[in-house]
Amino acid sequence: MSLPDSYLDYPHRTYGMDNGRYGWDPADRREPAILTSGAKAMAFIVVPIEFFPLDPPDKPFRHPGAMKTPYPDLRHYTTRDYGNRVGVFRILRALSEAGLQATFVVNADAAERYPPLIEAIRWAGHEIAAHGVSTAHLHHDGLSESEERELIARCRATLPDSKSWMSPARNESYRTPDLLAEAGFDICLDWEADQRPIELETDRGTLTALPVMNELSDFKLMIDNRQQADAWADQVIEAAAFQVAEHERSGAQCFGFTLTSYIVGQPFRISALKRLLTSLAGMPGLEVATAANVARAFKERHA
């Protein structure tokens, strides 16, 4: 029995990319980006500040860091709470010692619950980006436009000055970029289709997408892949060194990676984090900056 023709129809299939947000621009066919600062590559660090409820919804799916065992899952809940009470301050100290600034992506619920933490982040000069309402409020196509617009509005009201956005679990609906641009966001950290910024087309102008590499996430490598902290640190350092080395052929590139407070903020992993940050800060040709400053640097590059 043959399949009906409609089974193979895909309305978003087009030449190049299967979406209309960005164009066909493979790395071997474009002019190299030359940054005015002279940097050969740029890296940015993303630190999620998240609120995890004890009873997360299962639809459309549970956030990867959500509770794992039957209610009340106090073991996982208190581990995440440890991250916001203890681990994140170790990350802040390590960043300060290395002389680096990061982008802290903050849930609205976390900002309202932990104001002293948010003030500590601001005081240290880091960028504060919006990260949705909470890990229980995922963006997906099952939401109506008004429901998704309300989620973004709730986050925007709590973090009115943020220009960068990362969706909870980095999940979006088809309309999310349009609603983000409508709400005044300039930068999105959900898309990782390239190794330099991409301008996403929206019905309210363009939205700059910066690549946060899931393959370098501490959660992905240390929890999902069960690697040791030093192996994770080595891979981030290798990625940065590789991009610097590629500059002569490809021009400047960039990448981001995440530091999860309840993972890398554990005492037995801090030495690996400090080694990583020291290596990045001292790497010739590499500039470490906030997401907003990375986006700005690529927009101001030499023609």
Look at residue 28 and tell me if it is in a domain.
Answer: no
Q: What is the pLDDT of residue 1?
A: 60
Residue 3 lies in a domain: no
Closest CA to 103 of 189, 186, 197, 223: 189
Q: What is the pLDDT of residues 170-204, one digit of tens each?
A: 999 999 999 999 999 999 999 999 999 999 999 99
- Cis, peptide link before residue 60, omega less than 30° from 0: yes
According to DSSP, the residues that pair with 130 across neighbouring strands are 106, 165
- Is residue 55 domain-resident? yes
Angstrom distance (rounded) from CA 45 to CA 94: 12
Is the overall model pTM greater than 0.85, yes or no?
Answer: yes
93, part of any domain = yes
Give pLDDT, residue 88: 98
Report the CATH number at residue 70: 3.20.20.370
Residue 72 placed within a domain: yes
Domain membership of residue 8 (yes or no) is: no
> Residue 230 domain-assigned?
yes
Query: Which of the residues in the chain have pLDDT under 50?
Result: none
pLDDT of residue 122: 98
Structural domain of residue 191, as residue ranges? 41-299
Alpha helices in the chain (DSSP H): 74-82, 88-98, 108-113, 115-123, 145-158, 176-182, 218, 229-245, 247-250, 270-281, 291-299
Q: Which of 147, 94, 138 is nearest to 261 (CA)?
A: 94
Pairing of strands 103-106, 41-49: parallel
The pair of structure tokens assigned to 214 is: 């899931």
pLDDT tens for 78-128 read 999 999 999 999 999 999 999 999 999 999 999 999 999 999 999 999 999
**CA-angle at 279, arms to 276 and 282, nearest 5°:** 150
What's the number of domains the chain is made of?
Answer: 1
Asked, for residue 281, whether it belongs to a domain, the answer is: yes
